Structures are given as C-alpha cells and as structure tokens.
C-alpha cells in the first residue's frame, strides 16, 4: 500500500462549489504539506502543519483552508472554487529530521 494517499485522484467541479481534498499517510510523520502544481511554475506551498495543533500558511493560501484531523490526516478545502484553482494538488509528509518530503500521487482538480 502507498505510504501517502490522496482522494479523489481526479475531480471536476463548477465555480462556487465547495471542494475537499483528503490526504492520509502511514509513514508516522508529524509534518504534512499541501502544494499546487501549475505548468511552468513548479510546486507552490499552500499550507503546512508540523503537528495536529500547528497550521501555517504557505506562499499561496488565499482561497484555501486546511484541517489536520489527526497526525495521519490533512485535508485541503476550497470554500468556493474558481477556475484559476484548476491545478494538480499534492500532499507531502516529512519527519522533520531529514527535511526529505514524501509525496502522494496527486489530485487533478478542474474548476469549470
């Protein structure tokens, strides 16, 4: 089984809808991250969490919110989706010692 899983893998939605992307990990890591990937822009950090009670904004948090339900679960929400949030979204984890991040397979989100 994969160490970092994301659901759904693909999602098409309409402008104004609320969307939740979920991430689960079995690596036992404290730190979790949400990124979006756009062609030519690489990965940009949306939010990160270093433990269940710690949530921090990243480079591009506007229009997004997160919830750390447990050490193993970190969800990303789009309260009112807009077309420029169409992107590939990745969840990642790290243990804080090595700074190496481990990525999920991604969620492709399309907002019409």
Partner 1 sequence: AQSVTQLGSHVSVSEGALVLLRCNYSSSVPPYLFWYVQYPNQGLQLLLKYTSAATLVKGINGFEAEFKKSETSFHLTKPSAHMSDAAEYFCAVRVISSGSARQLTFGSGTQLTVLP
Work out whether the CA dihedral 49, 54, 58, 61 comes out positive or negative. positive
Sorted by sequence, the CB contacts under 8 Å of residue 101 that are 6+ apart come out as 33, 92, 93, 94
Neighbours of 48 (CB within 10 A): 22
- Could you give the CA distance from residue 32 to residue 56 in angstroms, rounded to a whole number? 11
**Of 15 and 56, which CB lies nearer to partner 1 in the complex structure?**
56
Q: Which residues, numbered 16-35, are part of the site for partner 1 (CB under 8 A)?
A: 33, 35
**Of 56 and 69, which CB lies nearer to partner 1 in the complex structure?**
56
- Could you give the CA distance from residue 15 to residue 82 in angstroms, rounded to a whole number? 5
User: How many residues make contact with partner 1 (CB under 8 A)?
Assistant: 25
Q: Which residues, numbered 37-66, are part of the site for partner 1 (CB under 8 A)?
A: 40-45, 48, 50, 56, 58
Judged by CB under 8 A, the stretch of 11-19, 20-28, 77-85, 92-100 that binds partner 1 is 92-100
Give me the residues that bind partner 1 (CB under 8 A), please: 4, 33, 35, 40-45, 48, 50, 56, 58, 90, 92, 96, 98-106
């Amino acid at each position: 089984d994969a160490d970092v899983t994301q659901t759904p893998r693909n999602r098409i939605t309409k402008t104004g809808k609320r969307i939740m992307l979920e991430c689960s990990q079995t690596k036992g890591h404290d730190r979790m991250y949400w990124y979006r990937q756009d062609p030519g822009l690489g990965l940009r950090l949306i939010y990160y969490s270093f433990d269940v009670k710690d949530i921090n904004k990243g480079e591009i948090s506007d229009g997004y919110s997160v919830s750390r339900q447990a050490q193993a679960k970190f969800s990303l929400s789009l309260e009112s989706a807009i077309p420029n949030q169409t992107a590939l979204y990745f969840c990642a984890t790290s243990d804080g010692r090595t700074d190496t991040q481990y990525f999920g397979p991604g969620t492709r989100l399309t907002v019409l």
